[in-house]
Structure 1
């Protein structure tokens, strides 16, 4: 039995590190459609192996496959493609701020679909975390208006947030019907990868791969840690404590990601960013109190 602490910090630490690891994918020249497809195709296979090791059947009701197909297209295709495309038009820091809004989206969906009440104290503390992320990335956010396609980037970023929230609802709905989590994730990621491959072929982009070590190793990390381990832990947390509390990971991830960036990418620490980090951590403490 995994403790609630590790259910939270496991995906938080992993996804914070993937911000840096994804750079090796982007630098390879492989189209985003292909890279995301390979990531979730490999993750789907590994989840299938994990399901068999857990003695969980991969034979799920036919009626569930339509829901899992929708989950794959929304969560593991639309969400990730929108994030990558949004970062072509707006700073990554603004995308991070937009993803903090998942706290509110998950809180609303948890109350509407699962009857999970969220306290005012939790929402106030979560708002403090969002403000902290805004402070961290304020220089990037302030410069957004100078970009001619900023509105398109904002729209894509918000679309990614909505897709992530809808994907959460779909996955939790399936598991609340008694379907095992790991097989549901395996099928959903597999459908998402198949959709991306189909889209790549239909658009004429074709299929590309980079056999060099940086690409292959980063792909393995993103599939094994960033997809299999992180999503299993994240959805177990959402099952146990509700989707709103699970979305608090998005408030802490930027803080840890910037520490990694300072170590490996030369990001310069500023007093405003330190203040934002402190506010994020204080808000997390307040929001996670019993």
Structure 2
């Protein structure tokens, strides 16, 4: 079950990259995020009310849903959508892969969760793999102040995503229905985007192409309603650190799509990157005994040296 959830998230979020590209330039970041989560929250509430599964939440729960909306259904996407004007998507994916480390650290800080022995080598393999996979994008990026600003935005957006993961874990530990908390979180995120859009006097109904409209509904339904629900369920089952490892895999799906539709050219570093990412996944999920034994010996040696 965990493997099915994991790879469903990878497949869904891996395909959202092409959808974001399809609507880029036709929406402002604020309006694009608003419509995405306004539609997603409407669908979730409709399903919950129709099935009589909408759960009553306390004031405290609603406050955390507001925070969740800001962290993972709103401001974090503003960061990424704004950064794309100065940075290619490959480098954004590299930075977003930091969610693995952010989640591990935040899980320990907020919930005292222990980091598994194999997490560090698996995360290292994944991050090295992502860097190798997008190496040509990295070295082709001009490091001027706009790029540094974009890097900062991406780091901020990634950390916001990680904080949203912690809030979801908080909800699940208090046995709150994940569909209900997601629905309210998306609603509050959309409301904040609406206020920003009004304050900035942006057009909520711009003239857009059919392609952008299809992309919007795909992002709202598949990327948000289904993708985030499966991802947060995965957090509750295997922990935030391991669930976030999917952020290292979905760029592979995006790259395959790019090869077919955008004529992406493969290099040796791309193949090397895939090998490292697959190795990291294998380490994380199989927990090989030889590695555990080696890590145990290394820890004992370091302690004896002290």
Give TM-score scaled by structure 2 length.
0.89
1:58-98 CA deviation, whole Å, 9 max, x = no partner? 43212211111111112111110101112222222111111
Q: 1:279 aligns to what?
A: 276
Taking the aligned partners of 1:237 and 1:54, their CA distance within structure 2 comes to 23
Taking the aligned partners of 2:146 and 2:208, their CA distance within structure 1 comes to 34
- 8 Å contact kept, 1:48–1:58: no
Q: 2:231 aligns to what?
A: 234
Q: 2:18 aligns to what?
A: 20
SS at 1:21 equivalent: helix
Structure 1 residue 120 displacement after superposition: 2.8
Moved more, 34-43 or 48-57: 48-57
Structure 1 residue 159 displacement after superposition: 0.3
1:14-35 CA deviation, whole Å, 9 max, x = no partner? 01001011122114x2212111
Q: Give runs of aligned pairs for residues 86-235 of structure 1, distance below 5 A.
A: 86-210=83-207, 212-235=209-232
Structure 1 residue 54 displacement after superposition: 4.7
1:244-277 CA deviation, whole Å, 9 max, x = no partner? 0110111101111101100111111111111111
> Structure 1 pair 135/187, CA: closer, same or farther in 2 (3 Å)?
same
Moved more, 102-111 or 47-56: 47-56
CA RMSD of aligned residues (A): 1.5
Q: 2:46 aligns to what?
A: 49
List runs of 5+ in structure 1 lacking aligned partners: none
Moved more, 63-72 or 152-161: 63-72
Q: 1:75 aligns to what?
A: 72
**Is 2:6 the counterpart of 1:8?**
yes
Moved more, 213-222 or 157-166: 213-222
Structure 1 residue 286 displacement after superposition: 1.0
- 8 Å contact kept, 1:89–1:147: no
Moved more, 94-103 or 203-212: 203-212
Taking the aligned partners of 2:66 and 2:201, their CA distance within structure 1 comes to 23
Alignment: residue pair count: 287
- 8 Å contact kept, 2:55–2:177: no
List runs of 5+ in structure 2 lacking aligned partners: 288-306
SS at 1:221 equivalent: helix
Taking the aligned partners of 1:288 and 1:86, their CA distance within structure 2 comes to 33
Moved more, 231-240 or 138-147: 138-147
Give TM-score scaled by structure 1 length.
0.94
Moved more, 102-111 or 136-145: 136-145
Taking the aligned partners of 1:220 and 1:131, their CA distance within structure 2 comes to 34
